[in-house]
């Protein structure tokens, strides 16, 4: 149960953060195509949140 | 290979008359990166374009408009032309071409306009064709009003009721009507017509039967269309004939204009010019020789400074600031061999390396495909990746696609290696039987070994199962993370030491290395204590080393970077945990593959599948199962490109590069001519 919550909530959180960043990044790219690399990186930064969630979930699951 | 090429700053001065020749020589040398002249210096002003620029620009303008008229694309060009051939009566050819093409385009446009007009007329006439009246009968009445137009239903009855004296003609299909009414009843008739959605179509002012007129128009249209075809063919012929010349001349003139406008980047006085440039130090002898020999003493080259990697530390703040701006300008010329070069674009997508730091391309070439391969870790996808990447490298021309192909090719190799030896699986199914899952050996009914013996060594085929050895895989990826970050800090140490000296480097980077090593030892201790459940004392040697290491590291980092360093501590842990995605993405793919495989095999052989063909399924089920298997694995394959590719890039850009990479350098762009459609046989290049 707690493992599921950990993954689900962090998943939602990173999705929300990525949405915000990606829309800004696309806007910036429209002005300067060279920003693609930077935009891409900024967009995937929040992915770490869900990785943390997953690690916590796995630890919980393993210690059951 | 690792550092950008060393640069020398040079000043080229000479008499103004020699400016053109100097530019020519520099273009041929292809190794001078010009620094734009800033108009600050006293007594100097910006140079004026060479005289040939304006004429060439005008010709270029004409050529470009011709190109647009003919619709020339890159694909229309056949081969290259020598510039001597282009220059031979360039002006005459352009004038001739202009006359020919403008004529052809104009006549084509005229015919096209006429065709449009006739087609509109014909559409109107076709309506009247359905009624049995000649066109002159629709007009010139004193007491009658005529309504002609389209309707949505038969208005005859309504018209008769509204205007009893009316005469109505309606087409056979009932959508076109002509009504003759007395002028007195016109309003009533019109109101009745509107009820039926009447849209007026006035009768043409011609006379005679509409059928004949349509036939006549058709004849005219046929003739016009053939002349339009002719005009188009003529233009196509012209295009076919002149495309190569036009494109080549365009390129030739563009180069002339570019060269002729170079003085705009140079400082001049009444009689002299001064040009500031960067030249790779290794090219200096060649450049010096060419300038003295070819420009015969009219131009002098002065070496200003061989740029060291070390930042000079002047105490005067203003001076430092001034120096900083100069440092920013030093261009980076990356030096990589053919294989490493393929990865350059990936590193530069983030930013061009500075002159005073390691070019990270080489490190990326090593670890990027490994990470990609680890996340895919399946020979069933690895081999298609290799093939796809190889085709991409053969066929693609744009940098973006070549980069993706490179990653797929090298990543595919590692995916296959990990797929065979580490995970031992293809399409999410293990080779040998493990944990009572389905495996290729049970499906095919043959025995596949867990390991093979090569020269006395037992090489395992599949150490870990992605879905059963979760703990081990996560633990392994954490260590990969620690190793990768260790490498990052080491490169950071090197960068700092060449830029600011050993002391700075030790305080800023060795401190973090100590924290990292301490953390790694602590991790070993914690795993023993908390996960393996081994009794360990707090006086364990690992603790005794780790704690002081970390403490000293933190103090040093604090001294070097200020309080911000303390805040970055949890960030380092986050970085390490971030590498667990290497395992997590592999797991998610294995989970997807398991799901698709189970569905496909159940469709084929029911719940009890063990060996292929053990239950004879019927053909339709077999096809359905194959479809599920193919689509499912194709989905995973495409997802693998996106997720494994993006995440391996991200691990480099975010976690790895942050430890050492500054970027923001200027790319080395020497004066150079790039010819695509032209050749220069008679040129004097060396």
Q: Once rounded to an integer, what is the mean pLDDT over residues B534-551? A: 81
Test the A interface: residue of B345, B467, B584 with most A CBs within 10 Å: B584
| Statement: residue B421 has pLDDT above 60 | yes
| Statement: residue B669 has pLDDT above 90 | no
CA distance B98 to B275: 40
Query: Would you call B671 helix, strand, or coil by DSSP?
Result: coil
pLDDT attached to residue B385:
94
Nearest one of B413, B411, B416, B414 to B427, comparing CA atoms: B416
Q: Once rounded to an integer, what is the mean pLDDT over residues B408-413? A: 93
User: Could you tell me the pLDDT band of residue B117, with boundaries at 50, 70 and 90?
Assistant: very high
Chain-centroid distance of CA B569 in Å reads 37
| Statement: residue B526 has pLDDT above 90 | no
Our CA-based measurement puts residue A44 at a distance from the nearest CA of chain B, in whole angstroms, of 7
Q: What angle do CA A36, A39, A41 make, to 5 degrees?
A: 110
* pLDDT digits 0-9 by tens, B54-63: 888 888 888 8
Query: Would you call B545 helix, strand, or coil by DSSP?
Result: helix
| Statement: residue B372 has pLDDT above 90 | yes
Please tell me the least confidently modeled range out of B38-52, B68-82, B447-461, B557-571.
B447-461
Place of tokens 């899952």: B437
| Statement: residue B682 has pLDDT above 60 | no
Please tell me the least confidently modeled range out of B83-87, B242-246, B612-616, B630-634.
B612-616
CA distance B660 to B304: 30
pLDDT attached to residue B408:
92
pLDDT attached to residue B435:
65
CA distance B335 to B3: 8
Chain-centroid distance of CA B20 in Å reads 37
Query: Would you call B182 helix, strand, or coil by DSSP?
Result: strand
User: Could you tell me the pLDDT band of residue B613, with boundaries at 50, 70 and 90?
Assistant: low
H-helix or E-strand spanning residue B305: strand B299-306
User: Could you tell me the pLDDT band of residue B607, with boundaries at 50, 70 and 90?
Assistant: low
Query: Would you call B623 helix, strand, or coil by DSSP?
Result: helix
pLDDT-above-90 percentage for chain B: 14
Place of tokens 């619709």: B71
Contacts of B627 by beta carbon, 8 Å cutoff, 6+ apart: none
The larger pLDDT score, comparing residue B409 to residue B164, is at B409
Residues 319-378 of B with CB under 8 A from A: 349-351
User: Could you tell me the pLDDT band of residue B522, with boundaries at 50, 70 and 90?
Assistant: confident
| Statement: residue B465 has pLDDT above 60 | yes
* pLDDT digits 0-9 by tens, B312-335: 654 334 444 444 445 447 888 888
Contact B251, B678 (CB under 8 A): yes
CA distance B373 to B382: 8
Test the A interface: residue of B345, B348, B349, B361 with most A CBs within 10 Å: B349
Contact B440, B447 (CB under 8 A): no
| Interface predicted TM-score (ipTM) | 0.79
Q: What domains can you pick out in chain B, each with its CATH number?
A: 7-46+264-332 (3.30.70.120), 117-217 (3.30.70.2750)
- Calculate the average pLDDT of chain B: 84
Our CA-based measurement puts residue B650 at a distance from the nearest CA of chain A, in whole angstroms, of 6
* pLDDT digits 0-9 by tens, B249-295: 888 889 889 888 888 888 888 888 888 888 998 888 888 888 888 88
pLDDT attached to residue B319:
42
| Statement: residue A61 has pLDDT above 90 | no
pLDDT attached to residue B635:
92
Say if the Cβ atoms of A54 and B580 lie within 8 Å. Answer: yes
Cβ contacts below 8 Å, chain A against chain B, sum to 47
Strand pairing category for B7-15 and B272-280: antiparallel
Q: What are phi and psi of B178, to 5 degrees?
A: -125, 125
| Statement: residue B530 has pLDDT above 60 | yes
Q: Once rounded to an integer, what is the mean pLDDT over residues B427-432? A: 84
Report the sign of the C-alpha dihedral through residues B383, B387, B388, B389, in that order. Answer: positive
pLDDT attached to residue B97:
84
CA distance B668 to B352: 10
Contacts of B434 by beta carbon, 8 Å cutoff, 6+ apart: B462, B465, B468
Strand pairing category for B666-667 and B331-332: parallel
| Statement: residue B518 has pLDDT above 80 | yes
pLDDT attached to residue B71:
80
Residues 5-34 of A with CB under 8 A from B: none
pLDDT winner (highest mean) among B93-107, B108-122, B428-442? B108-122
Report the sign of the C-alpha dihedral through residues A52, A56, A57, A58, in that order. Answer: positive
| Statement: residue B384 has pLDDT above 80 | yes
pLDDT attached to residue B118:
92
**Per DSSP, what are the bridge partners of residue B82?**
B679
The counts of H helices and E strands in chain A are: 3, 0
pLDDT attached to residue B42:
72
| Statement: residue B686 has pLDDT above 70 | no
Dihedral of CA atoms A3, B572, B373, B446 in degrees, nearest 10, equals -40
Say if the Cβ atoms of B470 and A38 lie within 8 Å. Answer: no
Of A36, A37, A48, the CB nearest to B574: A48
| Statement: residue B377 has pLDDT above 60 | yes
Query: Would you call B446 helix, strand, or coil by DSSP?
Result: coil
């Amino acid at each position: 149960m707690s493992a599921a919550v950990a993954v689900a909530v962090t998943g939602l959180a990173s999705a929300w953060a990525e949405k915000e960043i990606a829309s800004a990044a696309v806007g910036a790219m429209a002005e300067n195509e060279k920003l693609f690399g930077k935009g891409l990186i900024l967009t995937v930064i929040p992915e770490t949140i869900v990785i943390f969630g997953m690690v916590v979930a796995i630890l919980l699951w393993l210690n059951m | 290979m690792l550092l950008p090429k060393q640069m020398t700053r040079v000043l080229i001065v000479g008499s103004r008359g020699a400016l053109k020749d100097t530019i020519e020589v520099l273009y041929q040398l292809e190794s001078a990166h010009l620094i734009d002249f800033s108009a600050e210096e006293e007594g100097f002003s910006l140079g004026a374009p060479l005289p040939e620029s304006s004429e060439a620009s005008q010709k270029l303008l004409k050529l470009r408009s011709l190109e647009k008229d003919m619709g020339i694309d890159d694909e229309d060009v056949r081969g290259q032309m020598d510039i001597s051939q282009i220059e031979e009566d360039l002006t005459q050819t352009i004038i001739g071409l202009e006359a020919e093409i403008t004529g052809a385009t104009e006549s084509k446009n005229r015919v096209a306009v006429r065709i449009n007009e006739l087609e509109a007329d014909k559409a109107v006439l076709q309506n009247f064709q359905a009624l049995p009246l000649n066109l002159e009968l629709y007009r010139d009445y004193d007491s009658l009003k005529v309504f002609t137009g389209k309707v949505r239903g038969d208005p005859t009855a309504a018209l008769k009721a509204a205007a009893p004296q009316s005469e109505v003609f309606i087409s056979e299909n009932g959508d076109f009507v002509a009504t003759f009414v007395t002028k007195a009843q016109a309003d009533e008739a019109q109101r009745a017509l509107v009820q039926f959605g009447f849209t007026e179509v006035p009768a043409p002012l011609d006379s005679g039967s509409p059928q004949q007129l349509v036939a006549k128009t058709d004849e005219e249209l046929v003739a016009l269309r053939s002349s339009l075809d002719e005009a188009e063919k003529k233009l196509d012929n012209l295009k076919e004939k002149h495309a190569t010349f036009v494109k080549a001349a365009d390129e030739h003139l563009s180069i002339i204009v570019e060269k002729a406008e170079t003085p705009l980047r140079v400082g001049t006085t009444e009689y002299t010019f001064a040009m500031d440039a960067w030249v790779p130090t290794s090219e200096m002898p060649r450049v010096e020789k060419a300038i003295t020999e070819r420009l015969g003493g009219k131009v002098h080259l002065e070496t200003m400074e061989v740029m060291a990697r070390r930042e000079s530390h002047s105490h005067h703040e203003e001076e430092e600031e001034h120096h900083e701006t100069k440092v920013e300008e030093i261009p980076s010329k990356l030096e990589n061999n053919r294989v490493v070069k393929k990865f350059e674009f990936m590193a530069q997508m983030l930013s061009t390396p500075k002159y005073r730091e390691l070019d990270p391309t080489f490190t990326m070439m090593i670890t990027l495909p490994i990470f990609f391969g680890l996340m895919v870790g399946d020979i069933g996808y690895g081999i298609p990746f290799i093939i796809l990447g190889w085709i991409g490298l053969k066929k693609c021309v744009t940098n973006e696609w070549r980069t993706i192909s490179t990653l797929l090719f090298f990543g595919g190799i590692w995916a296959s290696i990990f797929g065979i030896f580490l995970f031992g699986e293809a399409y999410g199914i293990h080779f040998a039987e493990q944990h009572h899952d389905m495996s290729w050996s049970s499906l095919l009914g043959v025995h596949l070994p867990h390991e093979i013996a090569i020269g006395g060594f037992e090489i395992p085929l599949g150490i870990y199962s992605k879905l059963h050895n979760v703990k081990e895989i996560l633990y392994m990826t954490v260590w990969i993370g620690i190793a990768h970050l260790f490498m990052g800090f080491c490169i950071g140490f090197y960068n700092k030491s060449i830029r600011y000296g050993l002391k700075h480097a030790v305080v800023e980077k060795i401190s973090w290395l100590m924290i990292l090593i301490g953390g790694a030892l602590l991790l070993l201790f914690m795993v023993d204590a908390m996960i393996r459940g081994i009794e360990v004392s707090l006086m364990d040697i690992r603790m005794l080393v780790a704690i002081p290491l970390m403490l000293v590291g933190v103090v040093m980092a604090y001294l070097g970077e200020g309080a911000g360093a303390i805040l970055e501590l949890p960030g380092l842990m986050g970085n390490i945990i971030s590498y667990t995605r290497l395992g997590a993405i592999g797991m998610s793919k294995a989970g997807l593959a398991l799901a698709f495989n189970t569905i496909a095999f159940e469709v084929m052989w029911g719940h009890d599948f063990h060996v292929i063909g053990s239950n004879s399924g019927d053909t339709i089920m077999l096809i359905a199962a194959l479809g599920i298997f193919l689509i499912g694995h194709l989905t995973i394959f495409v997802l693998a490109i996106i997720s494994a590719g993006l995440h391996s890039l991200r691990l480099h850009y975010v976690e790895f590069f942050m430890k050492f990479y500054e970027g923001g350098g200027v790319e080395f762009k020497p004066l150079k001519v790039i010819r695509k459609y032209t050749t220069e046989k008679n040129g004097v290049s060396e």
